[in-house]
Amino acid sequence: MLNLPRYDAKITDNNGKKQIFDCLRRCFVALTPEEWVRQHFVNMLLTLKGYPATLTANEVAINLNGMNRRCDTVVYDKALKPRVIIEYKAPMVKIDTRVFAQIARYNLVLRVDYLIVSNGLQHFCCKMDYEKNCYTFLKEIPTYEQIVD
């Protein structure tokens, strides 16, 4: 049971392998524990936090030190500037400094205002302050209006 709102996911069976529908990529993808978290978290962003589906993308490719990497989810403002990177882990994966180091490396490329990490049970969000070279953990995931203010 995740610490996220209930979500009636579309699940199918493809040759014995479960798949879940990704409303952002508009296709079925392999149903892994991490993907289960992603789909529930994205649903929460869209339905409760006012994030526009058209400005939210899954599996965003970046180039980090000559290596191709993928951010789990990136949220953009209306000028298509990246504002949030979200990293998901399976529920059994503990959120620790390694997870934050991973998302921080991705942020070297995108320089967003917010970093979010979730394993479906725990959610952490920090707001970056580049002038002071620090970050602040927030008590809640901000609404879309809050991230683009």
Q: How far is CA 1 from CA 119, 121, 147, in A?
A: 11, 8, 28
Q: 95 by DSSP, 3-state: which?
A: coil
Segment 103-114 mean pLDDT? 94
| pLDDT tens per residue, range 2-14 | 999 999 999 999 9
CB 22 within 8 A of CB 29: yes
Mean pLDDT of 35-43: 97
Query: What's the pLDDT at 1?
Result: 82
Q: What is the pLDDT of residues 65-86, one digit of tens each?
A: 899 999 999 999 999 999 999 9
Cα torsion through 127, 133, 134, 138, rounded to 10: -10
The pLDDT mean for the chain works out to 95
| Domains of the chain: residue spans and CATH | 11-148 (3.90.1570.30)
Res 83: pLDDT = 97
Distance CA 121, CA 141 (A): 14
